[in-house]
């Protein structure tokens, strides 16, 4: 089976072609960062319009790179079309959903809306040594920070999540306080590399409590107060960045180790944009490895939003017989715990379709 995948949940336009036997044949991503930078964040209407402009040429590009599905070609270039149906910006989601559903209808192949976070969870399956189920998944990005008990495809239980800001959001907000341009998270991590221990100590919220919940909203406030109290020139931005990164990483590592101990699993999967952070990877490798367990990551290109991860999740569900009806599915909110194991017909709201 071969699928075309489309991702348009926020400010990345992406398409990919994945073959069940031959693997990932083509993928492309376009980031809208330059478009939104002047506004200091994503403007939903601009994001949607740019997806409309770029999606079809990108689909044509990856189909051409993937080549024919069989010698002499086939009636349709793929056996199914999968796309991000949520969660995300509703207008941006609808651009990809409408194109995917239209192509599938024209080609006479099934279409399936994919959960964006399930895509992130399954991104490490694209690697040469993919993780097996069950495992603990740390999903950490600009919009989400959660620990998940992943017992199998579609069998996900949220063990703990952030009560306020996500880790990536904390990176971005504190970067803005330091005067770094949007998106500030990666720039703050780069700045932290030249920082030194200046005696700063920002909070590691909820580490002193039981459970696997997160909270990062107080970090921005602590940074802001430190900057306001400090004498001009007394705090180097790189030292502040170093401590901000340390506070976030300490929290993520501690909770991840707790989750492994709570479940008894020996595998941790880390995905999402913040999974690209070098300090987080080094600390997790050390902490988890010292306990005789292993950490799995997607390659850096597949940490941020991309269509290859959507292809992995969609192909697995299509291969199990799952299908959407003819409606165009898009959901701004979609709890990952509501997903079920693949199989059967599905309505646009994600529930089993009526017989």
**CATH level 2 (architecture), domain 134-297:** 2-Layer Sandwich (3.30)
Q: What is the pLDDT of residue 348?
A: 54
CATH architecture of 2-121+303-346: 2-Layer Sandwich (3.30)
pLDDT at 235: 92
- Amino acid 115: pLDDT: 97
Beta strands 145-152 and 135-140: pairing type? Answer: antiparallel
| Cis status, amide bond into 183, omega within 30 of 0 | yes
Q: What is the structure's pLDDT at 349?
A: 55
Per-residue confidence (pLDDT) for residue 347, from 0 to 100:
56
* Torsion sign across C-alpha atoms 101, 102, 103, 104: positive
Q: How does DSSP assign 272-318, residue by residue?
A: SGGGG-HHHHHHHHHHHHTTT-EEE---GGGTSS-HHHHHHHHHHHH
At residue 41, the 3 state secondary structure works out as coil
Q: What is the largest CA-CA distance in the chain?
A: 73
- Among residues 336, 160, 335, 173, the alpha carbon closest in space to that of 248 is found at 173
Q: What's the pLDDT score for residue 164? A: 94
pLDDT at 198: 87
* pLDDT at site 346: 62
The per-residue pLDDT for 354 is 36
List the chain pLDDT tens, one digit each, 355 residues: 999 999 999 999 999 999 999 999 999 999 999 999 999 999 999 999 999 999 999 999 999 999 987 665 557 899 999 999 999 999 999 999 999 999 999 999 999 999 999 999 999 999 999 999 999 999 999 889 999 999 999 999 999 999 999 999 999 999 999 999 988 999 999 999 999 998 899 999 888 888 999 999 899 999 999 999 988 888 999 999 999 999 999 999 999 999 999 999 999 999 999 999 999 999 999 999 999 999 999 999 999 999 999 999 999 999 999 999 999 989 999 999 899 888 766 655 555 443 3
Predicted confidence at residue 340, as pLDDT, reads 86
What are the sequence ranges of the domains in the chain? 2-121+303-346, 134-297
């Amino acid at each position: 089976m071969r699928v075309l995948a489309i991702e348009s949940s926020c400010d990345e336009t992406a398409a990919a072609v994945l073959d069940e036997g031959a693997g990932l044949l083509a993928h492309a991503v376009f980031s809208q960062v330059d478009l939104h930078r002047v506004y200091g964040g994503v403007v939903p209407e601009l994001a949607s319009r740019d997806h409309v402009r770029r999606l079809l040429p990108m689909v044509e590009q990856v189909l051409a790179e993937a080549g024919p599905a069989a010698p002499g070609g086939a009636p349709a270039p793929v056996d199914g079309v999968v796309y991000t149906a949520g969660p995300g910006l509703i207008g941006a989601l609808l651009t990809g959903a409408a194109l995917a559903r239209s192509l599938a209808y024209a080609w006479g192949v099934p279409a399936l809306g994919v959960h964006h976070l399930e895509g992130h969870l399954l991104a490490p399956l694209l690697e040469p040594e993919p993780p097996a189920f069950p495992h603990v998944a740390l999903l950490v990005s600009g919009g989400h920070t959660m620990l998940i008990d992943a017992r199998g495809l579609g069998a996900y239980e949220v063990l703990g999540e952030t009560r306020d800001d996500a880790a990536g959001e904390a990176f971005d907000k504190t970067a803005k306080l330091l005067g770094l341009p949007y998106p500030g998270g990666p720039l703050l991590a780069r700045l932290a590399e030249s920082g030194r221990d200046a005696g700063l100590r920002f909070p590691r919220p909820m580490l002193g409590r039981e459970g696997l919940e997160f909270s990062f909203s107080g970090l921005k406030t602590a940074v802001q107060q430190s900057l306001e109290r400090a004498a001009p020139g007394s705090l180097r931005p790189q030292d502040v960045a170093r401590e901000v990164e340390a506070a976030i990483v300490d929290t993520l590592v501690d909770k991840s180790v707790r989750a492994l101990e709570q479940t008894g699993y020996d595998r941790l999967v880390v995905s999402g944009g913040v999974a690209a952070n070098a300090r987080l990877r080094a600390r997790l490798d050390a902490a988890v490895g010292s306990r005789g367990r292993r950490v799995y990551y997607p390659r850096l290109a597949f940490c941020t939003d991309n269509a290859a991860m959507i292809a992995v999740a969609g192909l697995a569900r299509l291969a199990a017989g799952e299908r959407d009806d003819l409606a165009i599915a898009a959901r701004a909110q979609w709890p990952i715990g509501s997903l079920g194991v693949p199989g059967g017909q599905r309505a646009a709201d994600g529930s089993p379709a009526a017989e």
